[in-house]
Amino acid sequence: MNEPLYEKIYRTIRDEIISGKYRRDSTLPSESALAAIFSTTRVTVRNALTRLSSEGYLYSIAGKGYFIKNKKFNKYLFEFDEKKILNSNIDKSKLISVEIIKPDVELSYNLRLPGNRRIVAIKRILYVSDKKVAYDEKYIPYFSGMPIIESEINVTALHEMVSNKEPLYSMKKKLAINVVKSSEEVMKIFDFNQPQSVFKVEQTILDEDNEPIAWSKLTYLMDYFKIEARLQLNK
Amino acid sequence: MNEPLYEKIYRTIRDEIISGKYRRDSTLPSESALAAIFSTTRVTVRNALTRLSSEGYLYSIAGKGYFIKNKKFNKYLFEFDEKKILNSNIDKSKLISVEIIKPDVELSYNLRLPGNRRIVAIKRILYVSDKKVAYDEKYIPYFSGMPIIESEINVTALHEMVSNKEPLYSMKKKLAINVVKSSEEVMKIFDFNQPQSVFKVEQTILDEDNEPIAWSKLTYLMDYFKIEARLQLNK
DNA sequence: CAGTGGTCTAGACCACCAT
DNA sequence: TGGTGGTCTAGACCACTGC
């Protein structure tokens, strides 16, 4: 047998769960019971159970046992990169303005800030072979020690701009992608005569307590947008 | 100290990686060395290292050691559900046709099938408050024992239709989302007078060897589309 | 109280890698 | 050949849950 024992235990229990042997929220045999069943020790059983838990098949409660979780088969993983999400890659970007402003309603809501807080607003246009394809707005509450050097800002991703305030690994990000009619501001940028459907990608960076610490809005022209994703199943 | 030792080891090494103590592809101290450093055993060290590996900070090669991986902070998780991706939920769907066809070029390419294989083509229209909002086309290579009962088809998701041929857990899915001009067929469905930009969501179901076993195309009207995603960081 | 999962020890043997 | 990660054993003590 080439297959490690913990792998066999993993497969066996996973297949039992999938085939519906256990009801949802019903409990698995205990670690010691499983160890006896597979003629091994708790450590090896735990190896399999830990993996099943991290993959979303199980959850455990100390002192009680392991319970079956309803695994969803509709979670997809995709990569989002401000530049790579476009069909062709961005080959130029132009900084339009860097200002310190007071929040309007949209900003106040998305950054959960009172009207008197100062916010750094950075606006850029992204180009693909000299054609405007996206409008980038980043909004970050102003704090001292923040770099507002234009040359730096142009190559800095949103999460990097706040990473000296908050360690990278503790940051959370949220994305919302949808289609909206272009605003007055966007119409000016893209030289639209009349409102037009555009992609809006809102990115919110949150700290460990889910408080927003940065917000950005990317407006893409249609026909320059593509996402590819794969189902997240194992690991 | 309340914090378990393996947690402390995990944090310590993670922070060292993030702070850039190790160069990319450079190797970590060996398990035994780390065990000595933290005055513990290999088992406890491995607990921390396994977690760091599954979170994408490290990878290991048997006989060589642990290596630093460049963790990307741009992977997002999102849920995709044919019905829930619309701003308002689908409240009606109408089956247009179920046919057995021979593949055209697009189908032959996406399902990697020769021109003489038979394919089941299922076409539906999805409604939100009596308005057509999406056109659903599913294509599955015909195999015996396949249910082609109209009442069943209407409530069956793509991956369920092939799940008696292939176990659910071994299936992989791939998504591609972009914007295209409506085809002749789509124009007829939505009563367009002229081509118009629409969302195209292509879903491919693959078996364990990445061979396609089903393919679907969902065409959504603009303004009825929304994705929300969260950054995948830990676990 | 006995049973559970959570943590940890101090060993062991193996296959693989570099020298 | 010695070092590495991969697998596994046979114990241990703890905090917690249910009775």
Could you list the mean pLDDT of each consecutive 10-residue stretch along chain B, which spans 235 residues?
A: 83 85 77 90 92 88 87 74 65 85 93 90 88 91 68 64 65 84 92 89 85 91 79 57
Q: CA at A229, C1' at C4: how many angstroms apart?
A: 40
- A29 has pLDDT over 70: yes
CA-nearest residue to A47 within chain B is B47
Six-digit token string for A25:
């929220």
**Residues forming a β-bridge with B8:** none
Contact A227, A78 (CB under 8 A): yes
Rg (CA), chain B: 25
Backbone φ and ψ for A227, nearest 5 degrees, come out as -125, 140
- A96 has pLDDT over 80: yes
Mean pLDDT of all residues in A219-233: 78
* B225–A176 C-beta distance less than 8 A: no
Q: Which nucleotide is nearest to B61 (CA to C1')?
A: D5
Mean pLDDT of all residues in A206-218: 87
B195 lies within 8 A of chain A by CB: no
CA-nearest residue to A176 within chain B is B228
List chain D nucleotides near protein: any atom < 7 Å from a Cβ: 3-12, 15-18
B77, B179, B231 member nearest A225 (Cβ): B179
Contact residues for strand D with beta carbon within 7 Å: A 4-7, 39-44, 47, 61-64; B 28, 30-33, 42-43, 46, 60-66
pLDDT at position B8 is 92
pLDDT at position B83 is 63
Q: B16: distance to nearest CA of chain A, Å?
A: 12
pLDDT at position B128 is 84
Q: List all residues 6 or more positions away from A235 whose beta carbon is below 8 Å from its beta carbon.
A: A54, A55, B54
Q: Which helix (H) or strand (E) holds A226?
A: strand A226-231
Estimate the crossing angle of helix B42-54 against helix B5-18, to 10 degrees: 50
Six-digit token string for B78:
């999102």
Backbone φ and ψ for B130, nearest 5 degrees, come out as 65, 10
C-alpha neighbours within 13 Å on the C-beta side of residue A192: 18
Contact A119, A142 (CB under 8 A): yes
Concatenating the DSSP letter of every residue in A153-169 gives HTT--HHHHTTTTS-GG
CB < 8 Å to B77, chain A: 75-77, 232
What does DSSP say about strands A131-141 and A119-128: parallel, antiparallel, or unpaired? antiparallel
B76, B179, B225 member nearest A78 (Cβ): B76
* A169–B231 C-beta distance less than 8 A: no
* Strand residue runs (E) in chain B: 58-61, 65-68, 75-79, 92-101, 119-128, 131-141, 172-181, 197-206, 212-220, 226-231
* B175–A228 C-beta distance less than 8 A: yes
Measured from the Cβ of residue B222, the count of other Cβ atoms closer than 10 Å reads 18
A18, A74, A80 member nearest B74 (Cβ): A80
Query: B197 vs A225, which has greater pLDDT?
Result: B197
B232 lies within 8 A of chain A by CB: yes
pLDDT at position A167 is 65
Six-digit token string for A138:
């980043």
pLDDT at position B104 is 93
Please name the amino acid found at residue B218.
L
pLDDT at position B232 is 66
Residue range A159-196, pLDDT digits in tens? 777 766 666 666 788 888 888 889 999 999 999 999 88
* B172–A233 C-beta distance less than 8 A: yes
pLDDT band with cut points at 50, 70 and 90 for residue A234: very low
A210 sits in the region (left: phi over 0; alpha: psi -120 to 50; else beta) called: left
Query: Could you give the residue ranges of the DSSP H alpha helices within chain A?
Result: 5-18, 31-37, 42-54, 105-111, 150-153, 158-161, 184-190
Enter the pTM of the model: 0.75
Query: A156 vs B220, which has greater pLDDT?
Result: B220
Residue B70 CA, chain-centre distance (Å), reads: 22
B11 lies within 8 A of chain A by CB: no
